[in-house]
Every structure is written in structure tokens, then in C-alpha cells.
Structure 1
Amino acid sequence: MSAYPGQDSFRTPIKIARRLGASKSGVHHWWVQRVTAIALIPLSIWFLFFLGALVHASYPMVLATIAQPVPAFLLIVLSLCLFWHGALGIQVIIEDYVHTRWLEVTLQIALRFGAILAALACVLAVLAIWLGVVPQH
């Protein structure tokens, strides 16, 4: 029985008015986590073969291989998916296991900044190689 007269659920009237139920709040997070996980499967397999092909390559050969459009694009997509997926997973861990509110908020902010900074560093590194900014020795 609800605390509100004429209402048979536990949701507040504002949540009913905004149509915010259990399926409206966390579904996006859940879907993005699954989509990035599925995207990471073929990207990770490609990356392992890519690294395997470059094991005995020289430094200029590695730079030349990364500078090609398809490997550069796939490395950028891999980096973005990897950091997005990781940040979503760590976000859930923080939400579930950190019970001090100020610490939870601080960790969430640090997580977002760290993930964005690391993803940006990877993307910029690949772009620098792709655009020929990195000198070949």
C-alpha cells in the first residue's frame, strides 16, 4: 500500500508524471555497457592480430602501419570503446560499494576526468601518427 491515497505503487506522483520508473533510469547505462562490450570483442581480436603482425617490426614500420587510415581509425574506435566501457563498469562499482557521499561524488568526477583524459591522449597519439606529426627515426 502506498503512502499516497489512490495510488497502488511505491513511486511518487512526480515520478509517475515524468514517467520515471525502474526501466527508465538505468536502461541507457545498461545498453551502452553491452554495446561497448560487443564492439570490443571484434576490436580486441583485431588488435591482437595487429600487434602480432608488428612484433618484430622496426619503429618506422610500426609508425607507417599505424599511419594507414584503417588501422588508425580502428585504434581510435578501440580506445574510445575501451575507456567508455571501463568507465561505465567502474562507475557501477563506485555506486555499489562507496557509501560515503562526498567520496562517491569525488571518485565519480575523478573517474570521468581520468577516462576522458586517457581516451583523449590515445586519440591524439593515433592522430599524431596518422597525420605525420611524429618524426620517423
Structure 2
Amino acid sequence: MPETPSDHSHLTNRKRAEGLGSAKRGTEHYWGMIQSSVGLLILVPLFIFTFGPILGESYEEVVLYYSRPFPAIVAALTIVVSWLHFKNGAQTAIEDYLRGTTRKVLIMAVNAVAYVAIAAGLFALVALVL
């Protein structure tokens, strides 16, 4: 049952507006995007630094290289953080501009694409190493 204005007549306008937004998760989502952005600021250069030397080498050399923990961990973290950042950003855009069934279907599709891409990337990395 919707609340009537008199239900909160004792609250000031500021108190009614405080909080996490209309969905109660806006601040949490915002900070998640900030954290993943900062993570990507660190991970992308590290990934380029670790991926660059092995680019164009033979399969055997790539397997040997990614058998070492540092390049494998950097690649795995880059895969996970970048796809989660994509998922959250795309979901925000969809929530802002679409309504109804289309919105729900696209959010589910974006979530599915992101998690499938994470799983495929991590599987490929593990298969390369093992």
C-alpha cells in the first residue's frame, strides 16, 4: 500500500531525501563502480605490461609464461574486474533509459553475457596453465 504524505509529516524534506536513493542501493552501486574503476586503473597497465612480452610467442612459451603465478593472477583479475565493471555500467544505462519487460530482459542478458564471459575467460586461462 503506498504511503500518503501525512505518513511522514513529521520528517523534514532533508530527512525524507536522505538515504541510498529510490532503490536503496544507489550509493552502494556508485562505490562499486568507483572501486572497479580504480582496480582497472591498476590492472590494465599491469595486464599490458605482463601480456606484452609474450605477445606473438609460440604456444609453448605462452603456456610456460602463464604457468607463473603473477601473469596468471593479473590476467584473471583483469578478466573478472573488467567484465563486472561492464555489467554494472551497462545495467545502470539500461535502468536509466528503459522500462518494463525490455528492461528486465536486457538486464538479465547483460548479466548472463558478463558471467559467461568471466567463466570462459577463466576457463581458458586455467586450460592454458594446466
Letter aligned with residue 3 of structure 1: P
Aligned-pair RMSD on alpha carbons?
2.6
With over 3 angstroms needed to count, the CA separation of the structure-2 counterparts of 1:3 and 1:10, relative to structure 1, is: farther
Match of 1:107 in 2: 106
Q: Whole-Å Cα distance in 2 between the matches of residues 118 and 21 of structure 1?
A: 30
Q: Whole-Å Cα distance in 2 between the matches of residues 61 and 90 of structure 1?
A: 36
With over 3 angstroms needed to count, the CA separation of the structure-2 counterparts of 1:77 and 1:98, relative to structure 1, is: same
Aligned 1:74-85 pairs, distance under 5 A = 74-85=74-85
| TM superposition shift of 1:55 | 2.7
State how many pairs are aligned.
124
User: Segments of 4+ in structure 1 off by > 4 A?
Assistant: none
Match of 2:127 in 1: 128
Identity %: 25
Q: Whole-Å Cα distance in 2 between the matches of residues 114 and 46 of structure 1?
A: 25
Q: Whole-Å Cα distance in 1 between the matches of residues 49 and 71 of structure 2?
A: 12
Is 1:3 aligned to 2:20, yes or no?
A: no
Please identify which structure carries the higher helix content. Answer: 2
| TM superposition shift of 1:20 | 5.4
Return the TM-score normalized by structure 1: 0.79
Gap regions ≥5 residues in structure 1? 133-137
Match of 2:51 in 1: 51
With over 3 angstroms needed to count, the CA separation of the structure-2 counterparts of 1:93 and 1:21, relative to structure 1, is: closer
